[in-house]
Amino acid sequence: MKKGLLQRLDEGVVIGDGGFVFALEKRGYVKAGPWTPEATVQYPDAVRGLHREFLRAGADVMQAFTFYASDDKLSNRGNKSSAKYTCRGINDAACRLAREVAEEGDGLVAGGLSQTPTYLSGMSKADTQKEFQKQVDVFVENKVDFLIAEYFEHVEEMVWAIEVCRKSGLPVVASMCIGPDGDLHGITAGECAVQMAKAGAHVVGINCHFDPFITLEGLRKMKAALDAAGLKVHLIAQPLAFHTPDAQKQGFIDLPEFPFGLEPRICTRWDMHRYAREAYDLGVRYIGGCCGFEAYHIRAVAEELAKERGKLPAGSEKHEQWAGGLKMHTKPWVRARASRQYWENLCPSSGRPFSAAMSKPDAWGVTAGDSSLKQKTTATTEEELTSLVKPGKVANGK
């Protein structure tokens, strides 16, 4: 019998997969803006292929590509995916693709929920939970191994999602897209963790919006609060693969480079070695990635924790650890870089002579309950778009 999530976490470390929406957008299969996963129906080979990349890199979890796959999101602001492919159709296809690849190895399948336009628009708990239930029903029918509620900016909505997930009888992972300062309604990171645990989540933590090291700052606060409350749950970290030292409470979506100019901020594989070690030493046992995480980032996590896991990933076949393959290079100065010391101490350059080290976040300061966040099914008009642009404003706050 295949071991389940909680048994694996009790016994050691579980490596999650990486980011799907950013990776598939770059490959031409996801539309930036809505970021919805109709590719599970339109381009199943692309989704299947990315799952396989993460499996080969060492991921233990094939997370079904159901990010932003709630019915209300699939019909938001002119999106026709709900009508064309249906919420059920997209979620069902995502589960089947994840299961197919998971069975090629020893992988687990997770069905995922995300925050909803219904909540952002100020609608009721019942309305919001109805959206979650539509997805959970499909996950249960597909016999996923566990559920993950991720990418929630408000712990109130997260608790509502956990309540729906718990009714399934499956293990529940709860991961908020917050930093050390807590959620967007002013609830501290520690209190968010306590509320998630008390709502019944078996694993709690942080994903997206911030880089690995800011995410770990937030998790330290969560761990301290959980310990103080006497609550015993596992921790999860699935951060961005972009450096975000200048991000404020809204995270990277507030940076002027989001979403099409983030490449200079990409973390190296060596950053991920450090992230994996610091996460493990903190006590985090579910360690993966979110937006920007490619297969080589996950491979770095798996290689750093190879001793703890008792194995290397299949993807290490073509990757000698700490640049050992460079010993075969024709140029002597490149061969000289075949060492851990060289890469751990490298401070990479951007290659952009006039590029600033950090940006000025937009910092609009709006969140759920603000009229500007009320969602609709019709497309955004040019008049509405014009009203959002500040006169004379371009990138980097200039």
Q: Note the helical H segments in 187-253.
A: 189-199, 212-229
DSSP state of 266: B
* Model pLDDT for residues 145-158, shown as the tens digit of each residue: 999 999 999 999 99
How many structural domains compose the chain?
A: 1
Least confident interval from 81-85, 265-269, 314-318, 358-362: 358-362
pLDDT at residue 393 above 80? no
Domain contains 28? yes
Tell me the residue range of the domain where 23 lies: 5-321
Q: Taking the model in full, what pTM does it have?
A: 0.92
DSSP state of 143: T
* Model pLDDT for residues 8-27, shown as the tens digit of each residue: 999 999 999 999 999 999 99
**Quick one: pLDDT at residue 382?**
79
Q: 290 a known binding residue?
A: yes
* Model pLDDT for residues 173-195, shown as the tens digit of each residue: 999 999 999 999 999 999 999 99
- What are the distances in angstroms from CA 221 to CA 72, 188, 206? 33, 9, 11
Domain contains 340? no
Helix (H/G/I), strand (E/B), else coil: 369: coil
Domain contains 184? yes
| Domain containing residue 220: CATH number | 3.20.20.330
SS3 content of the chain, % helix, strand, coil (to 5): 45, 10, 45
**Quick one: pLDDT at residue 379?**
81
Domain contains 67? yes
Helix (H/G/I), strand (E/B), else coil: 238: strand
Would you place residue 397 in the very low, low, confident or very high pLDDT band (cuts 50, 70, 90)? very low
* Model pLDDT for residues 79-132, shown as the tens digit of each residue: 999 999 999 999 999 999 999 999 999 999 999 999 999 999 999 999 999 999
Least confident interval from 31-40, 130-139, 357-366: 357-366
Domain contains 252? yes
Q: 291 a known binding residue?
A: yes
**Quick one: pLDDT at residue 396?**
52
Domain contains 197? yes
**Quick one: pLDDT at residue 363?**
72
Domain contains 349? no
Mean confidence (pLDDT) of the chain: 94
